A and B are shown apart, each in its own frame.
Chain A
Amino acid sequence: MQHGSNRLVRLGHVYLGIMLAFLYVPIFVMAAMSFNESNLYRLPITWSTRWYEALLHNDKLIDASINSLWVAVVTTVLATALGTASSLAFFRYEFRGKKLLQLLAFPPITIPWLIIGTAMLTFFFWIGMGRGLHAMVLGHVALAMPYVIIVVSARLKSFDLTLEEAARSLGASSWQVTMRITLPWIAPGVMAAALFAFAVSFDQFVISYFLSAPGVSTLPVEIYTSIRKGFTPEINAISTIVIGISMVLLLGVSRFYRFGGQR
Chain B
Amino acid sequence: MAVAHPQATDTAASVTGRSRRTAILALTGPAYLWLALTIFLPLSAMLYYSFLSDVPIGDRTAVLTLENYAAFFEKEFYQTLMWRSFRLGFEVTFYCLVFGFPCAYVLAKTIRGRSREALFLLIILPFWSNALVRIFSWTMVLRGNGVLEHSLNWLIPEFGSLNLMFTYPAIILGLVHSYIPYMILTCYISIEAIDNGVIEAARSLGARRLSVLRRIIIPLAMPGIIAGSILIFVPVVGSFMEPRILGGRQGTFIGTIIEDQFTAVFNWPLGAALSFIMLALVLVVLAIMAPAIKRVT
Contacts and interface: CB of A to CB of B under 8 A. Distances in A.
Do the two chains bind? Answer: yes
B169 interface: no
Interface in A124-174: 124, 126, 138-139, 141-142, 145, 174
Interface size bracket, A side: 35 or more
B125 A30 contact: no
Contacts of B122: 20, 23-24
Contact of B119 (A20, A43, A88, A263): A20
Nearest to B20: A93
Interface in A224-238: 224, 227-228, 231, 235-236
B129 A27 contact: yes
Nearest to B239: A114
A184 to B, nearest CB: 18
Nearest to B122: A20
Contacts of A12: 102, 105-106, 110
A205 B140 contact: no
Contact of A89 (B28, B110, B234): B28
B137 interface: yes
Interface of A is mostly: helix
Contact of A119 (B150, B241, B275, B278): B275
B103 A25 contact: no
Interface size bracket, B side: 35 or more
Contacts, number: 260
Contacts of B7: none
Nearest to A12: B106
Given A2-B110, A141-B38, A250 B32 contact: no
Given A110-B282, A122-B46, A141 B34 contact: yes
Interface stretch (B66-74, B158-166, B254-262): B254-262
A3 B199 contact: yes
B262 A142 contact: no
B241 A224 contact: yes
The 6 closest A-B pairs by CB, nearest first: A112-B238, A26-B137, A114-B238, A246-B128, A123-B42, A89-B27
Given A112-B234, A260-B116, 8 more contacts: A3-B110, A26-B137, A33-B137, A41-B140, A113-B238, A124-B42, A236-B133, A259-B121
